[in-house]
A and B are shown apart, each in its own frame.
Chain A
Amino acid sequence: MIESNDLSKQYNNDFWAVDGVTLNVQPGQILALLGQNGAGKTTTVRMLTALLSPTRGSARVAGYDVTRNPHDVRANVGVLTEQHGLYMRMTGEEYLEFFGKVYGVDAETRKSRSAYLSDYFGLTEAARRRSGEYSKGMKQKLALARALIHDPSVLLLDEPTSAMDPESAQLVRNEISRLRSSKRTIIICTHNLAEAEALADQIAIIYRGKILLNGTLEELKRTVLGPIEYEARFSKEFDAGDLELPPGAVLASRSATSWRFRVETPQDVNPKLVNALISRNALLISFQEVPKKLEHVYLKTMADAQGVSYAA
């Protein structure tokens, strides 16, 4: 579990890198922390790893206070840092063995975990090669294997799939999903919004050290982009005349062959809306939700924060 309350970090007595971050991530949940470069994601993660001490506020990670029990926090957290941080003259096998020892994993478990992770990430063949010879993606996978070697209950992953080919990225995402189902608490810092959308249960957007938004994807979409929109497409121009929309549905926009409706409670309103259209002989081809992506949420939030207009 990760809980932080008003977590803040000031540098040089004047610059707040992180300002009042409050998070709550339960076991079995993934939180995606999104934000521009320099927004405070890494500083937040470093405070949660007990690498930096907060200037204000508090945090508990894996049941331990980051200020009072930094050693216990670090022992129970797996961290994938911004840079892979591999020792280039060590082989993959030696590297995992070294970090297994650093985390106090016993020899037998070390061996089996190392073998499992190397096998899972497709590194077995390269295990005896120096990591300096690995491709970018392989390096990233080895770094991720290092973060998982001690089977931590909390994972803090900074750009876990960066530099990976699509197959490898999928592999990593599957592993992260598997870890969620085994009740691990996970925070992912990423610029890959599609990945965040696919993996995260909670999404937090951070800007200049402050959390602007925090919630599920649906909550964020509703908050930022408004109610869900549905689009009806017709095979030829539809002239509804004095079509009366059911309560809870508002016509948002229309063209000759498509109409868009803003609906508050789709489960109640949509059947009535479809009936109303059909009753007016609309030649309906499709009726579906207008996709609103996390990307729109993110870009709109950023545009609002910077006081500029956002055009989807």
Chain B
Amino acid sequence: MRRNWDAVWLIARREFLDQFRDWRIIVPMFILVSLFPFIADNTTRQAVNFMNRFGGDLILDRIVPFAVLVIGFFPLSFTLIVALESFVGEKERGTIEPLLSSPLGDNQMYLGKLLVGIATPLLFSYGSIGIYLLLLARRAVQFPSAYMMTLILLLTFAHAVLMVSAAIVISVQATTIRAANLLASFVVVPVAFLLQGETVLIFWGDESVLFYAVIGLTILSGLLIRLGLSHFKREYLLGREIDTLNFKSMGRAFLERVTGNAKSIVEWYTVEIPSTLRQLRRPLLIILGVAVLTVASSYLWVVINTPKHIDLTPDKIDEFQQYIRENLGNLDVAILHENIPAHWVFLSNVRATVLLLVAGLMSFSTIGITLFMVNMALIGGFLGGASLIHFSPFLVFVVAILPHGIFELTAVIISTAAVLKLGAMLVTPQPDKSLGEIFLLSLADWFRVFIGLVVPLLAIAAVVEVYVTPQIIKMAFPYL
């Protein structure tokens, strides 16, 4: 074990020395690190003064955590180049082959590069934050709380790990430094958006949500590191000189994976689709478990917490019940059909399913699953609300959700399970396949269940939701 880490440290140390001997990295970084805190300090003061002149009621103390976060982020984005060229740069300079010919393990090499890739930006980020805090100390500005400061430093750390681990994945997969640099925007831009979200959380002032953001980013970074380690192959670093995109062959591979060995649509539905579902058995069970847990947790949260904020007296409950019964009893189904047609519901659900895939693709399925959980939480919350006004949650579920939900929920659970499998495939080592191949084939697997099961189920669900569920609700609610 020690020897393993000795080798990781050996690689990291060499890289570290190499960077610190390169004035082209060091000089601009020192200038940026030293200047940016002054610029940020001045800009924030100007902004506060400007806002306050027009009654913005903004105080400098409130903006400090945000400034610290931004000051920490800038050096990260600049020094990303170090991680981006870690492998592809050595490849272009021809220094990679002696290293790859050595007995060093793949993981040792990868972790060594990752370590230094993270340490360098962090050194500059924390240095920059330190200078800013020194500037603040000279003024009578209140420092953020120790907890908030810890969270921001952890967030900066999580940003560094996230960006560097993504940059190193790019560096391994890219064939030229130019390509790697072009792909850098796929790292910097999402993290910049993330930073905006975190800024909202900082101004919102809910530190617990910020804490969950740190946890979420850490999980995502862990998955990215796992992805990088899984797909780091010496052979790919040497074997590919030029990236060629063969759309024809990619399309053929995709289609072959979607259709499988089926010779007819009947055979596809009777052999291929059941086979895919069997492969999805474990993800399906996990997603089903997640759904049940989320609905139950959300139900309980609403039932326990709502009375703390709303005083539900018997009169008020009666009033709610009466209102709902009257409105649902007088529901004009024809107007409903006109305003919310079935095709609109169908397209909206299809769009949501695709969005879930896209979110899943960008996050190894984690954000996709989170979106799924949000939907399940809405169901739990809805049932919890029904329970609070003394409707039977079970009956509400049977009447208002189950008729179309039996199709819609099934479709969404299958689709999310396919997204989970896709994410898991990406971070699982498969020695005979490249990252691109795995991505393509996993996407084909998702598409197979999407086109074969999810779309038909969502179509049925939309028709039922628009034409059947409202009728049942109209009939049943006055008697609930």
Q: Residues of A at under 8 Å CB distance from B?
A: 11, 46, 49, 51-53, 71-72, 74-75, 77, 79, 81-87, 89-90, 98-99, 101-104, 143, 146
B101 and A77 contact, CB distance less than 8 A: yes
A52 and B94 contact, CB distance less than 8 A: no
Contact of B101 among A11, A79, A98 (CB under 8 A): A79
A98 and B239 contact, CB distance less than 8 A: no
Most-contacted residue by chain B among A72, A83, A85, A90 (CB, 10 A)? A85
A51 and B234 contact, CB distance less than 8 A: yes
Across the interface, which residues of A come within 8 angstroms of B101, CB to CB?
A: 49, 51, 74, 77, 79, 81
Contact of A51 among B10, B100, B104 (CB under 8 A): B100
Interface residues of B in 19-34 (CB under 8 A from A): 21-22
Across the interface, which residues of B come within 8 angstroms of A99, CB to CB?
A: 98, 102
Whole-angstrom distance between the Cβ of B120 and the nearest chain A Cβ: 15
A51 and B102 contact, CB distance less than 8 A: no
A102 and B97 contact, CB distance less than 8 A: no
Contact with A along B1-16 (1 / 0, CB 8 A): 0010001001000100
**How far apart are the CA atoms of A51 and B21 in the complex, in Å?**
30
Across the interface, which residues of B come within 8 angstroms of A46, CB to CB?
A: 238
Across the interface, which residues of B come within 8 angstroms of A102, CB to CB?
A: 7, 10, 99, 102-104
A52 and B96 contact, CB distance less than 8 A: no
Residue in chain A with minimal CB distance to B233 = A53
List 13 contacting pairs A-B, 8 Å CB cutoff, sorted by A.
A71-B103, A71-B105, A79-B97, A81-B94, A82-B97, A83-B94, A85-B94, A89-B18, A89-B21, A101-B10, A102-B102, A102-B103, A146-B98
**How far apart are the CA atoms of A221 and B21 in the complex, in Å?**
53
Contacts A46-B238, A74-B103 given; does A90 touch B14 at CB 8 Å: yes
Number of residues in B with C-beta < 8 Å to the partner?
25
**Is B327 close to A, CB under 8 A?**
no
**How far apart are the CA atoms of A55 and B393 in the complex, in Å?**
62
Across the interface, which residues of A come within 8 angstroms of B98, CB to CB?
A: 79, 81, 85, 99, 143, 146
Contact with A along B200-241 (1 / 0, CB 8 A): 000000000000000000000000000000000011001100
Contact with A along B94-138 (1 / 0, CB 8 A): 111111111111000000000000000000000000000000000
**How far apart are the CA atoms of A259 and B234 in the complex, in Å?**
59
**How far apart are the CA atoms of A104 and B239 in the complex, in Å?**
27
Across the interface, which residues of A come within 8 angstroms of B10, CB to CB?
A: 98, 101-102
Across the interface, which residues of B come within 8 angstroms of A79, CB to CB?
A: 97-98, 101
**How far apart are the CA atoms of A86 and B99 in the complex, in Å?**
10
Contact of B239 among A49, A52, A71 (CB under 8 A): A52
Across the interface, which residues of B come within 8 angstroms of A86, CB to CB?
A: 95
Contacts A71-B105, A103-B103 given; does A89 touch B95 at CB 8 Å: no
Residue in chain B with minimal CB distance to A130 = B21
**How far apart are the CA atoms of A83 and B93 in the complex, in Å?**
9
Contact of B95 among A52, A71, A75, A85 (CB under 8 A): A85
Residue in chain B with minimal CB distance to A78 = B101
Contacts A90-B14, A103-B102 given; does A51 touch B94 at CB 8 Å: no
Across the interface, which residues of A come within 8 angstroms of B22, CB to CB?
A: 89
**How far apart are the CA atoms of A11 and B98 in the complex, in Å?**
22
Across the interface, which residues of A come within 8 angstroms of B93, CB to CB?
A: 85
Known A51-B234, A81-B97, A85-B98; 4 more pairs at CB < 8 Å: A74-B102, A79-B97, A81-B98, A98-B14
B97 and A52 contact, CB distance less than 8 A: no
Across the interface, which residues of A come within 8 angstroms of B94, CB to CB?
A: 81-85
Contact with A along B44-77 (1 / 0, CB 8 A): 0000000000000000000000000000000000
Whole-angstrom distance between the Cβ of A55 and the nearest chain B Cβ: 11
Whole-angstrom distance between the Cβ of A284 and the nearest chain B Cβ: 56
A51 and B238 contact, CB distance less than 8 A: yes
A83 and B104 contact, CB distance less than 8 A: no
Across the interface, which residues of B come within 8 angstroms of A83, CB to CB?
A: 94, 97
**How far apart are the CA atoms of A94 and B262 in the complex, in Å?**
61
User: Which 8 residue pairs spanning A and B have beta carbons closest together?
Assistant: A83-B94, A75-B103, A79-B101, A89-B21, A85-B98, A81-B97, A74-B103, A85-B95
Interface residues of B in 229-257 (CB under 8 A from A): 234-235, 238-239
**How far apart are the CA atoms of A77 and B101 in the complex, in Å?**
8
**How far apart are the CA atoms of A89 and B38 in the complex, in Å?**
33
**How far apart are the CA atoms of A11 and B241 in the complex, in Å?**
11
**How far apart are the CA atoms of A49 and B98 in the complex, in Å?**
11
Whole-angstrom distance between the Cβ of B427 and the nearest chain A Cβ: 22
Across the interface, which residues of B come within 8 angstroms of A84, CB to CB?
A: 94
Across the interface, which residues of A come within 8 angstroms of B104, CB to CB?
A: 102
Across the interface, which residues of A come within 8 angstroms of B105, CB to CB?
A: 71
Across the interface, which residues of A come within 8 angstroms of B21, CB to CB?
A: 89
Across the interface, which residues of B come within 8 angstroms of A71, CB to CB?
A: 103, 105
Whole-angstrom distance between the Cβ of A133 and the nearest chain B Cβ: 13
Contact of B238 among A52, A75, A103, A104 (CB under 8 A): A52
**How far apart are the CA atoms of A244 and B17 in the complex, in Å?**
79
